[in-house]
A and B are shown apart, each in its own frame.
Chain A
Amino acid sequence: MTPLAVQNHQPFSTGDIPILPVKEFEESLRGELLTQARMIGLFGLESKGQETTVIAVLARPLKSAIDLIGTKFSSAKNSYKTFADIFPQTHYFECELAENHQIIPEGHPWLRPVRKQTICGQELYSPYRMEGEEVHEVAVGPIHAGVIEPGHFRFQCHGELVYHLEIILGYQHRGIEKLLLKASPYQQNILCESIAGDTVIGHSMAYALAVEALSNTSVSLRTQVLRAISEELERIAMHISGLVGIANDIGYAIGSASYGRLRTLVINSTALLCGSRYGRGFIVPGGLQFDPTEQLINAMKENLQVVYDDVRAINEVMFGSSSVLGRLDHTGTVEKEWAQSVGMVGPAARACGLDTDTRSQFPYGAYKYTHLPLITLSSCDVFARARIRALEIEESFRFIFDQLENLPSSSIRNQLDSILSDSGVVSLTEGWRGEIAHCAFTDSNGAWKRYKIKDPSFNNWYGLGLALRSEAISDFPLCNKSFDLSYSGHDL
């Protein structure tokens, strides 16, 4: 049976998802994965009595389609044959499913908790450990030096060389998916803005688009363009912030000082749009909260022009400095094949030569009408991840200047219709860190039945572990910063 194929932000009736017996589900999913589908979700939709319905969501970038396929597990038969032994990209999704619904992937190579301390009723999880006289273990965190989120890193080292890095997260688990089911629509918007504090626009956009799709609400062109501008502003600000971090970690003071100064101007431009430097309260289902005046737009243009000119100058200095290049080159390399097989997304994947970009593969909003060039690099190291930020910053600026030149004029807010009952939607957006997926399902009253969120960090944390293989332990902070992943986005 063929899976249900939908487009990004296309609502569908939950009943249309084929629910197969476990055996056929396995085969079908295996077939999908064999034909280059990328998993973006594997989660329980609902539990009725003894039965749990599980949905697998897969992205098919070449067709710009999203495939959905489901199965039912009962408490008597709560296991399936794992996919992770052949397709490492499903590894973490299977762990998540096992943790949340006690559905066991048989033969899973590395069943470990995602956000909790135990999995499937097993005893307290203890991380992978290397034995040997000269091997030593370094444990870092969850409390770190400096102001960052909590996460625990376990290194298995031989001298300076790292053999294995295990990343243990979950300290920020707030139960956002459950909170969303109970919250009022106003609260939901705020909750989605708080999934990851540095991806406010990305997540609130995914949420708004999901709600709009399910209520068949169309938004005006001006809204779409302004949303895209705010998303690119967030991308610029966070990419600059990433470059600050990278320059700081390699002790390149002139770089960190210059980029640091510019980020403020960018987030101040976001503040001109909506009063919040992080874009809180700008995007709401149905449109926008604020309509910028001509005067504000001009002030924004002026700000951004300054940043654009300066950023290009500093990019040239930083990426022309031999000492910087010597530090970044061949540090933290993730082979392209590895990146693909573990399902990395966003700039980190593009730095490995993978062309994953939701804006061009599953276009939405203003990106349907204006094409942003997809940049990939092939060196797969920290240099590539830094350079791709610099390049994307410049492209985003061009996009913003283009759009600001001929901003369409129309209203910015439409009334929402009532939300479809027994329906679902997959909402993909490209946050600055990569693909954000919100899978929303409604019950017979049009209230949320399940709201599944996947932050790009969920895909990429494993990539960071791979980047550290056979790398010096002193390079960890730099590699970590080059990925710049979210702890709270992962932990939800």
Chain B
Amino acid sequence: MALRILQGLLPFLFILGLSPLLVGLINKQKALLTGRTGAPIWQPYYELIRLSRKETIYAKTASFVSRLAPVVVFSAVLIAGFMLPVGYTRPLLSFNGDIVVFAYLLGLARFFQIIGAMDIGSSFEGMGAAREATFAVFAEPIYFFTIGSLAFVSGYTSLYEIYLSIRLDNPSSLVFIIVSSISAFFLMVTECSRMPVDDPNTHLELTMIHEVMILDNSGVDLFLYQYSSYIKIMIYGIYEVLFFNPFGMQNQWLGFSLFIVLLLLLSTIVAWVETMIARLKMKNVPQYLLFATAIGILDLLIYTFVK
């Protein structure tokens, strides 16, 4: 009983507690790669604490949507996070068909973020919202083609069971792991507004996608937005890393350690990409995303051949 409670608490604590740390790690490694000392890895926590203490100010033109949006975004992202297994444990929420719910919970979060941005009526935020909406159209197929083809292969429709079904003894799984993890990485950088799709460090409103949508938010609202963006990185990080889980599935503790190591490795890869690669031209982003979708389609092709 006690173990089960612990197992239930683990994903909760992991996702809520450690997602800022993952961002801190990425930023720290990025700084180190460019020869700087960088902010401490705890910096995202300090940011969150600072924001939570600040006063929340609303624009004169803001309606109830602006007040509602941050809460909806945060809750939707958090619930989606609970559908993913952390390491080997069974997730808090797991049922047949949750791959669709997972996608559209994040879709709901995006929708509210977009209307929250449009609600203010600033031209900058309108531009950001338009970009977010456009790129979402190209990002969604990536998710469904990667996880969807795995669902086809395994016959399961729950994220946990799909991941469990990846077996090393099946040679086609190996191909799936490689191919899916590539498109999952593309999905991650798009959804989490990282390079080369969006630049989290820029101060230029005209080039931003995610950052420009939260320009007019402050205090607790900004806290919720920032926290949900940290959680999103954690979610997509887990989503990516779990493809490699079969290597550690045999042993729970080994599986969990491997899971952590892979997450750290992923943060290094993200930091490396952000240092070494320039951002894409905005008009080339759809091409970049379609490439990832094409990889996803490759998954389905592999499936038909294997079958």
Contacts and interface: CB of A to CB of B under 8 A. Distances in A.
14 contacts: A136-B126, A138-B206, A140-B205, A145-B203, A250-B279, A251-B199, A253-B30, A254-B276, A323-B196, A326-B281, A327-B278, A472-B281, A477-B204, A477-B207
Contact of B278 (A138, A145, A321): A321
Given A327-B280, A331-B281, A251 B127 contact: no
B201 interface: yes
A130 to B, nearest CB: 14
Contact of B34 (A249, A254, A323, A477): A254
A477 B276 CA distance: 20
A491 interface: no
A327 B204 contact: no
Residue among B130, B201, B278, B280 facing the most chain A CB atoms (10 A cut-off): B278
Contact of B195 (A139, A247, A251, A472): A251
Interface in B271-288: 274-284
Interface in A236-255: 247, 249-255
Nearest to B124: A138
A369 B201 CA distance: 47
A137 interface: yes
Interface string A305-329: 0000000000000000101101100
B36 interface: yes
Contacts of A472: 281-283
Interface string A450-492: 0000000000000000000000111111100000000000000
A145 B203 CA distance: 6
B274 to A, nearest CB: 6
Contacts of B275: 253-254
A324 B278 contact: yes
A245 to B, nearest CB: 11
A174 interface: no
A173 interface: no
A327 B35 CA distance: 24
Interface string B220-261: 000000000000000000000000000000000000000000
Interface string B13-51: 000000000000000001001111000000000000000
A154 to B, nearest CB: 11
Contacts of A476: 206-207
Interface residues of B, number: 32
Contact of B36 (A140, A159, A255, A257): A257
A475 B204 contact: no
List 9 A-B pairs, minimum CB-CB distance, nearest first: A257-B34, A251-B279, A251-B199, A477-B204, A252-B278, A250-B278, A474-B282, A323-B278, A253-B275
A13 to B, nearest CB: 51
B170 interface: no
B123 interface: yes
A165 B207 CA distance: 16
B61 interface: no
Nearest to A140: B206
A263 to B, nearest CB: 14
Given A327-B278, A327-B281, A477-B207, A251 B123 contact: no
Given A137-B123, A138-B206, 17 more contacts: A138-B123, A145-B205, A159-B130, A160-B283, A249-B202, A251-B195, A251-B202, A254-B34, A257-B35, A323-B277, A327-B278, A331-B281, A472-B283, A473-B127, A474-B207, A476-B207, A477-B206
A160 B36 CA distance: 35
Contact of A253 (B34, B123, B280): B34
A368 interface: no
A138 B127 contact: yes
B141 to A, nearest CB: 22
Contacts of B130: 159
Interface of B: 30, 33-36, 123-124, 126-127, 130-131, 195-196, 199, 201-207, 274-284
Contacts of B35: 257-258, 261
Residue among A140, A250, A327, A478 facing the most chain B CB atoms (10 A cut-off): A250
A49 interface: no
Contacts of A175: none
Contacts of A132: none
A258 B36 CA distance: 10
Contacts of A146: 203-204
Interface string A137-158: 1111000011000000000000
A327 B279 contact: yes
Contact of B33 (A249, A254, A324): A254
Contact of B274 (A251, A324, A326): A251
Nearest to B274: A253
A253 B123 CA distance: 28
Contacts of A250: 278-279
Contacts of B281: 326-327, 331, 472, 475
A249 B207 contact: yes
Nearest to A146: B203
Contacts of B282: 160, 472, 474-475
Nearest to B277: A323
B205 A251 contact: no
Contacts of A478: 207
Contacts of B280: 323, 326-327
Contacts of A139: 123
Contacts of B207: 249, 474-478
Nearest to A473: B206
Contacts of A258: 34-35
A75 B51 CA distance: 63
A477 B205 CA distance: 9
Nearest to B215: A145
Residue among B34, B35, B131, B206 facing the most chain A CB atoms (10 A cut-off): B206
Nearest to B282: A474
Contacts of A261: 35
A140 B124 CA distance: 9
Nearest to A321: B278
Given A324-B278, A327-B278, A474 B206 contact: yes
A323 B280 CA distance: 7
Contacts of A253: 30, 33-34, 201, 274-276
Contacts of B206: 138, 140, 473-474, 476-477
A138 B207 CA distance: 13
A361 B275 CA distance: 41
Interface string A101-139: 000000000000000000000000000000000001111
A331 B196 CA distance: 17
A152 to B, nearest CB: 14
A139 B124 CA distance: 9
B207 to A, nearest CB: 5
A145 to B, nearest CB: 5
A478 B35 CA distance: 24
A256 B277 CA distance: 12
Contacts of B278: 247, 250-252, 255, 321, 323-324, 326-327
A161 to B, nearest CB: 10
A462 B46 CA distance: 45
